[in-house]
Amino acid sequence: MSTPSTTASESAGASLRSRLFVAGLGMAAIFAAGTFGYYLLGRGRWSIGDCAYMTVISLTTTGFGEVLANFEGTPYARLFTGFLLVGGAGVVVYFVSALTTFLVEGEFLQSRRRKKMQKLIQNLSGHIIVCGAGGTGRHVVAELVATGRPFVVVDPEPEPLARLQELFAGKVVHIQGDATDDNILIEAGIQRAFGVVASLPDDKGNLYVVVTARGLNSELRIVAKAVDANARRKLEAAGANAVISVNAIGGLRMASEMIRPHVVGFLDKMMRDQDKALRFEELTIPPISLLVGRKLAASDIRKTRNLLIVAAKTEAGDYTYSPGPDFVLEAGMTLIVIGESEAVRHLRTSSLFTPEAES
């Protein structure tokens, strides 16, 4: 999901900003030199305001004449004006050029970036739309990047989106816009999406996201963040499949750190391992899978795929924990496994799982 062209555009934008900054410093320096130069030449006879005004009309070549009194009686005043005109002309031209380039090309680069993002989004299907790039959304994005899941981030502010791009090396496909707006979610490809994560900072915003998303795609899986525990019922009634209370999760984590620190340490190590993206994952066996009717020992999931099956859930909702080698796999059964995310993706798209995948 790398977007090198977008990164190049951002580099060009940074170059434009740097050029404008240097030009602005030059302009400020020549203005300050002119203002205080006149003030010192006049030995305090002219106010700072008059000196600044004389500098402005000189640099802009407005031609109002010598607005400072007793100009003729001040040695070197006209000579200083000449040097100011000659030296300042280049700085003014450079500043105007940099400002014009920044405004014109900056707008062009922004439009170009948006078009490239739109093209990337149009090629996505079965992706996840993350609404909100703040603290919660940033952790959601980190997990999606680590597990290789396609996603689009939507946020109304440019700063959090820029931080995500910096954190994840330009791998973040995003849209700057209001996630409660139908048109923005349509632009994010909600009709083709697998799910939506509503991670805005307030419950009201997340409620609007859930209602809007559910209205646009009835098949979506929607996971919403609840700040207030009382918001859970409203979010579920609006169409959220799951509601996560950040306070409840935080409290559970603190309790776990206290009473089962080694378990928490193991899970943290598993999640943060840079060499192997080990995760708890789920695999639902389709009716056409070659696994249907096979015993677990003959499935090759453990032996060749290096995936450990922790539990199996039937369509009726019954769980079998740590199934043995004689356990028979059924269509529609969901396997809870632990292993590398890449191995899970390979199994999910293999001919063993979906026979037409390699036909």
Q: pLDDT tens digit string along 56-96? A: 887 777 655 555 655 656 667 777 777 777 777 778 787 77
Domain 4-120: state its class: mainly alpha
Q: pLDDT tens digit string along 119-146? A: 889 999 999 999 999 989 999 999 898 8
CA–CA distance, 281 with 176 (Å, rounded to integer): 31
pLDDT for 358 equals 45
Q: Mean per-residue pLDDT for 349-359?
A: 63
Domain ranges of the chain: 4-120, 124-251, 273-358
Could you tell me which CATH number the domain at 124-251 has? 3.40.50.720
How many residues appear in the chain?
Answer: 359
Number of alpha carbons in the 13 Å side-chain half-sphere of residue 224? 32
DSSP letters, 114-164, are HHHHHHHHHT--S-EEEE--SHHHHHHHHHHHHHT--EEEEES-HHHHHHH
- Give the sheet arrangement for strand 278-284, strand by strand: 278-284, 334-340, 308-313, 319-321
Residue found by looking up tokens 């977007």 in the block: 3
pLDDT band at 197 (very low <50, low <70, confident <90, very high): very high
Report angle CA 170, 175, 176 to the nearest 5 degrees. Answer: 110
Q: Percentage of the chain surpassing pLDDT 70? A: 85
Q: Would you say residue 185 has pLDDT above 90? A: yes
Measured torsion, CA atoms of residues 226, 133, 214, 341, in degrees rounded to the nearest 10: -100
Q: Phi first, then psi: what are they for 125, rounded to 5°?
A: -155, 140
Tell me whether strands 319-321 and 308-313 are parallel, antiparallel or unpaired: antiparallel
CATH architecture of 273-358: 2-Layer Sandwich (3.30)
pLDDT for 73 equals 60
CA–CA distance, 331 with 284 (Å, rounded to integer): 8
Entry pTM: 0.60
